[in-house]
A and B are shown apart, each in its own frame.
Chain A
Amino acid sequence: MEIPITYYLILSSALFAIGVLGVLIRRNAIIIFMCIEMMLNAVNLSLIAFSDLHRSIDGQMLVFFVMVVAAAEVAVGLALIYVIFRNRGNVYVDELNIMKW
């Protein structure tokens, strides 16, 4: 039994909204990063749903490349967070304001 495309899209938008909410509400940089990953996964779900709708492999190829880029981004981002922690002792984004005018 086919699952209608609307269910996939609603779930994808709900996960994306939860990710945005996490990025805006939380202060811990690592949890913000995890919510960014959740947003990327919501977009992946939407791409795979449309790939299934049109029976085209291109959506799944884009998901593949999104996953690769997300992996690279996580490596560099966590290195940055580690350096911030080493310099400051905590990773609260509220206190990272030396570039504020």
Chain B
Amino acid sequence: MQIIFFLLAATALISGIMVVVQVNPVRSALFLVLNFFALAGIYLLANAQFIAAIQIIVYAGAIMVLFLFVIMLLNLREPEEGGAHRHLGQKIFGASLAAAVVALVIYKVFRMIAPPGKPLTPEFGTTEMVAKSLFTDYLLPFEMTSILLLVAVVGAVILARSKVN
């Protein structure tokens, strides 16, 4: 089980780094799709079956397709010429700061005392349990997300509208 976790974690980390490093935005988007699939596998390992399925359907299947459509519409080329380039020193400084943050987290996390584990019931993380919680305890946020999605769709349509003659 831990071998699978390390494989998926390595896939997620390497594809994440490739998202940042790639010049072509289409390749960046495809590496991000690979990242989302690896994360969905890790969610499965963490007893989150419903969230893993939703991750693939919503993130990799809808959001990234929207990204790719926009990249196609914008018809982006490779960057032609200057403007303000990021200097190599800035990139190295940024990467070392990121590594320092991760090192700090690793240091603190290994000094953490985890609470004793609770028993795992077979219906933890399944769709039934998420649905029970979603429609009883989290009913108000659920209804508000429907309004939020409506507002987002209306806003996106109005923003991208051509000028009215």
Most chain A CB within a 10 A radius of its CB, from B70, B71, B121: B70
Query: C-beta contact mask, A62-101 vs B, less than 8 Å → 1, else 0?
Result: 0111011111111110111111010000011011000000
Do B94 and A25 touch (CB < 8 A)? yes
Using CB atoms and an 8 Å cutoff, list the residues of chain B in contact with chain A: 1-2, 5, 9, 12-13, 16-17, 19-20, 25, 28-29, 32, 35-36, 39, 42-43, 45-48, 50-51, 54-55, 58-59, 62-63, 66-67, 70-71, 73-74, 76, 79, 83-84, 86, 90-91, 94-95, 98-99, 101-102, 105-106, 109-110, 112, 114-115, 117-121, 124-125, 129-130, 133-134, 137-138, 141, 145, 148-149, 151-153, 155-157, 159-160
| 8 Å CB contact of B134 from A27, A64, A70 | A64
Do A1 and B20 touch (CB < 8 A)? no
Do B101 and A27 touch (CB < 8 A)? no
Do A65 and B145 touch (CB < 8 A)? yes
Do A30 and B47 touch (CB < 8 A)? no
B157 to A, closest residue via Cβ: A79
Most chain A CB within a 10 A radius of its CB, from B29, B46, B55: B46
Do A75 and B94 touch (CB < 8 A)? no
| Complex interface: chain A residues within 8 A of B74 (CB) | 30, 81-82, 85, 91
The dominant DSSP class at the B interface is: helix
A side interface size, CB within 8 A: 70
Do B129 and A57 touch (CB < 8 A)? yes
B48 to chain A, nearest CB (A): 5
- Given A19-B16, A25-B91: 16 more A-B contacts, CB < 8 Å: A3-B5, A15-B35, A17-B99, A25-B90, A30-B70, A34-B19, A38-B32, A41-B35, A44-B51, A45-B43, A52-B47, A65-B145, A69-B148, A79-B156, A79-B157, A81-B70
B73 to A, closest residue via Cβ: A82
Using CB atoms and an 8 Å cutoff, list the residues of chain A in contact with chain B: 1-11, 13-15, 17-22, 24-28, 30-31, 33-35, 37-38, 41, 44-45, 48-49, 51-55, 57-58, 60-61, 63-65, 67-76, 78-83, 85, 91-92, 94-95
| Complex interface: chain A residues within 8 A of B101 (CB) | 13, 17, 20
Query: Please, how many angstroms separate the alpha-carbon atoms of A11 and B99 in the complex?
Result: 12
B111 to A, closest residue via Cβ: A6
B106 to A, closest residue via Cβ: A10
Do B13 and A11 touch (CB < 8 A)? yes
Query: Please, how many angstroms separate the alpha-carbon atoms of A95 and B133 in the complex?
Result: 46
With contact pairs A34-B67, A41-B35, A60-B48 given, residues A6 and B159 touching in the complex (Cβ less than 8 Å): no
